[in-house]
Amino acid sequence: MMLGAASTISLVKSNDENLGHFSSPAVSPVARSSKAVTGGQNRLVVAEVSKSTNHRPTSGVVFEPFEEVKELMLVPTGPQESLARHKFMDETEAAINEQINVEYNVSYVYHSLYAYFDRDNVALKGLAKFFKDSSQEEREHAERFMDYQNMRGGKVKLQSIVMPLTEFDNPEKGDALHGK
């Protein structure tokens, strides 16, 4: 968004006969002067606007609107760059991808526990339901992170999922019911 406005505005109080450098043709003023009567004296207030960046008025600069928003006007120029990726660092993208992988791995472990507790020889249906719901919840977390990654212009990189344990009855480690 480019506006056709001046880059600097300066205000100077001066007498009528002392315009000095304000009559320079290089400046191209918009508002030359306005007279104000204060305390019985005629005073001349001169306001000039300069469009060129090479010429800076010698008086105090009151307002520079485009200097304050210069950082916001940076727009990606390449076709592969996303506007949503503005201030989205690569480290953040990598951390979100890592968290997506963690969420899927935990979901996979919970799903394995659901399958174990749902067996007919184990038959702990309450625990099976709990782990099935927990598995679904972890997948939803991963999907939310994926949606955020895509919304910010990042790329989702799924990694391999580690195979969880499927057998939890170990005669060497014993049974929790017989532990001391």
DSSP states along 104-155: HHHHHHHHHHHHHHTSTTT--HHHHHHHHHHHHHHHHHHHHHHHHHHHTT--
Across the beta sheet with 8-14, what order do the strands follow?
34-38, 41-50, 8-14, 61-63
113 and 99 in contact (C-beta within 8 Å)?
Answer: no
Q: Which backbone phi and psi does 28 adopt, to 5 degrees?
A: 50, 75
Query: DSSP secondary structure string, 48-109?
Result: EEE--SS---SS-EEE-HHHHTTGGG----STT--GGGTT--HHHHHHHHHHHHHHHHHHHH
103 is in an annotated binding site: yes
Annotated binding residues for Fe cation: 103, 138, 141
Annotated binding residues: 103, 138, 141
